[in-house]
Structure 1
Amino acid sequence: MAENGKNCEQRLTGMNKEQHNGNFTDPSSLNEKKRRDREERQNIVLWRQPLITLQYFFLEILINLKEWTIKLWHRRNIVVSFLVLLAVLTAMYYIEGTHQQYVRYMEKKIFWCAYWVGLGILSSVGLGTGLHTFLLYLGPHIASVTLAAYECNSVNFPEPPYPDQIICPDEEGIEGSISLWTIISKVRLEACMWGAGTAIGELPPYFMARAARLSGAEPDDEEYQEFEEMLEHAESAQDFASRAKLAVQNMVQKVGFFGILACASIPNPLFDLAGITCGHFLVPFWTFFGATLIGKAIVKMHIQKLFVIITFSKHIVEQMVALIGAVPSLGPSLQKPFQEYLEAQRQKLHHKSEEGMPQGENWLSWMFEKLVIVMVCYFILSIINSMAQSYAKRIQQQMYSEEKTK
């Protein structure tokens, strides 16, 4: 493995030397060289160069650990204070007393909130494929609460975090007592925490662009390079994508807080550009993060909640299942697993035994579980590839520095 890694480093070094040769003064040659370097890095992936990719991945981890250790040492007073606070909280957690009921309650709430915030942060990176955790976790959670609320005629099942399954309360609910606002209130905590996580996940592009602008250094991020190219060719932009990006950039730059709020309040795949724009033009942190937090955790989350709740309301679901059955030829066979799944959920909600449970639920659950496993595995692979490519970029940048000093 070491020999393969050395050979790859030699190839990268050789290509850099061949491509330099006095070309630093020629902007077009430099841009061409960067493009070739980028293509060379993109080939360092597990399915093409597994041994080199793994070696570079572990080397990048070691370098990051060293950098983080140095940073923590420089901030050792904060680290010591944090460790003391952690020791006090640990003592309170394990010492018996009347305070334990409050400790358990806070533990339950903190872990529940941290779970959804973490999923929100992961959603900003798309699990390596652009697929949001809203589709995998929060959306299905809101849908299950909605179905349970209409079936039980109540939302008085346990407070979050729920047990493995939601159970209807013993007291009978009043028919028609469930409203949209009732269900929205029931899922507000987890939805807002997820939205706050997505807002936190938008901070890296902002900090990257801000640091690059303040330091005057050339940033590594390719999205930032595309952003600067877009600014240079703003007047000549013709295609729809470029115009859309310019519209977002102009709104954020000119309108400020309310422009950021508008971009964050709607499903917007170009919002990364808003973070880069705010960082590049040195928009204050709390202006950017405050507008992003309000837009994503409050405005957009209520829009998404309403959509899911209305879609999974009892009469809408029954109409959708009926429409599936109306499909010629395939309709009845497609309709059956959904009917069995809904029936299985009703049995669960009313404490009925899981013995003899229809197979439709198992089929849908199996599909969902396998989808989640595939997405998580792809996410892990993308992290390994990304870190290996980061190490390759370090080698290339080291060559830039050596050539510039000659």
Structure 2
Amino acid sequence: MSISELREKHKQELENLTLTSQPFQTLKLFIVAVVQYLKRSLVYLFTHGVWLMLLAIVTVAGVVLFLSSNGPRGTHVEEFLEYVRFVLWWVALGVASSIGLGSGLHTFVLYLGPHIAFFTIKAMQCGRVDIKSAIYDTIQLNRSPSWLKKDCSEFGPPLFSTEHGIQVPLTSILPQVQVEAILWGLGTALGELPPYFISRAASISGEKIDAADELDASSTEDNGVASNLNNMKRWLLSHAQYLNFFTILILASVPNPLFDLAGIMCGQFGIPFWEFFLATLIGKAIVKTHIQACSFFLSL
């Protein structure tokens, strides 16, 4: 058999290798891959000297001592853990929003948007923005912020009282919800990485993405808005090799259902990872989240 025939046969075998069609073979290969990965990891640790292992042991011991401390230090530990939970919560919501090729959860509508709205309404009612007990005093899993059910008298007199009533400027409210919005945007940027890596791995292995063929097959069924969306997809496919930092930044800075396709094309045409990720991070965590937050302020 020729090399091309062997590649085609190998490709067909990979396509047929699923848990539903070949469960035992799939699990067997999965276990073999895990064992090989663990062996390579252990070999790497031993070949790179004892210093790396000593550093890991010291780090683990330090973390254990840090978490098991009592007294005044225990208060700092609890404070540190609150910050860790806060960061992980909002980043995880961002990942859940963008991962899955458009099938993610609408966590902005479910969590970040309501949090911004509740804080803005409370700040407008009380005439002040210093109502959080700490930065991490936000909506979290099975926990509501402490300021949500407090009476305005508990925060003190209004600080933004004018002759026309209480008017809290947008520039004062935005910094109070900015950290969680940026963390959520960071999570959305991380959620866009799997399509890029999968496409890049396929490109390195010599495979091509069938997105163009799928678009041609579905073009006869589209009309109106769907047809315009399809034309935009074709434009991305035909110009993907010219994507650069600023193009990715623009695509990531606006609500864009086609960004997964942009990530796939960047991986397929070998756009450097840091160029793709930094542009995505700036666009989603800085530009897009602030646009969404400001739109919420103006709608209230």
- Do these two structures clear the TM 0.5 threshold for a shared fold by scoring above it? yes
Deviation at 1:104, TM superposition (A): 3.0
2:99 to 97, 103, 125: 125
1:274–1:69: structure 2 CA closer, same or farther, 3 Å change rule? same
Mapped partners of 1:142, 1:127: distance in 2: 26
Matches of 1:62 and 1:121 in 2, distance apart?
30
Cα contact 1:248–1:263 (8 A) shared by 2: no
The answer for the alignment partner of 2:274 in structure 1 is 286
Aligned to 2:255: 267
Residue 160 of structure 1 corresponds to 135
- Given residue 300 of structure 1, which amino acid in structure 2 is its aligned partner? K
- Do the aligned partners of residues 69 and 85 (structure 1) sit closer, same or farther apart at CA in structure 2, a change above 3 Å counting? farther
What residue number does 2:194 align with?
A: 204
Partner Cα separation in structure 1 for residue 57 and residue 293 of structure 2: 39
Q: Counterpart in 2 of 1:184?
A: 174
Q: For the Cα contact (< 8 Å) 2:240–2:269, is it kept in 1?
A: no
Aligned length: 261
Q: What is the match of residue 173 of structure 1?
A: 158
Q: Which has the higher contact order (CA 8 A, sep 6+)?
A: 1
Is the 1:227–1:273 contact (alpha carbons within 8 Å) kept by the matching residues of 2? no
Contact 1:252 1:259 in 2 (8 A): no
SS of equivalent to 1:75? helix
Counterparts of residues 2-21 of structure 1 (less than 5 Å):
none
TM-score, length-scaled by structure 2:
0.73
Matched, 1:93 2:67: yes
> Would the aligned equivalents of 1:112 and 1:161 in 2 still touch at CA under 8 Å?
yes
CA pair 127-156 structure 1, distance change in 2 beyond 3 A: farther
Normalised by the length of structure 1, the TM-score is: 0.55
Residue identity opposite 2:156 in structure 1: E
Q: Deviations along 1:289-330, whole A, 9 cap, x unmatched?
A: 000000000000000000112222xxxxxxxxxxxxxxxxxx
1:277 aligns with one of 254, 257, 265 = 265
Q: Is 1:112 paired with 2:86? A: yes
Output the CA distance in 1 between the equivalents of 2:27 and 2:102: 19
* Partner in structure 2 of residue 297 of structure 1: 285
In structure 2, the CA distance between the partners of 1:230 and 1:182, relative to structure 1 (3 Å rule), is same
Question: Which residue identity does 1:185 align to in structure 2?
Answer: P
- What is the deviation of 1:185? 0.5
For 2:102 and 2:252, how far apart are their aligned partners in 1?
Answer: 21
> Structure 1 or 2: larger helix share?
1
CA contact (8 A) 1:120 1:195 kept: yes
Match of 2:37 in 1: 71
Shift of 1:59: 9.2
Q: Is the 8 A contact 2:195 2:263 kept in 1?
A: yes
Structure 2 residue 75 is the aligned partner of structure 1 residue 138:
no
Give the Cα–Cα distance (whole angstroms) in 2 for the partners of residues 310 and 61 of structure 1: 53
Q: Which letter maps to 2:183?
A: M
Aligned twin of 1:225: 210
Instruction: Give the unaligned 5+ runs of structure 1.
Output: 1-23, 28-32, 45-51, 219-223, 313-406
Aligned ranges for residues 323-362 of structure 1 at < 5 Å?
Answer: none
In the alignment, what sits opposite 1:248?
236
Distance 1:249-1:101 versus aligned 2 partners, 3 A rule: farther
What is the percentage of aligned positions where both structures have the same residue? 37
Gap runs ≥5 in structure 2: 138-143
- Letter of the aligned partner of 2:193 in structure 1? L
Structure 2 distance, partners of 1:190, 1:308, is 15
Partner amino acid, structure 2, of 1:160 = I
* CA drift at 1:110: 1.6
Of 228, 246, 250, the match for 1:258 = 246
- 1:255/1:209 Cα in 2 relative to 1: closer, same or farther (>3 Å)? closer
Inter-partner Cα distance in structure 2 for 1:229 and 1:68: 34
- Give, in angstroms, the shift of residue 214 of structure 1: 1.2
Contact 2:90 2:184 in 1 (8 A): yes
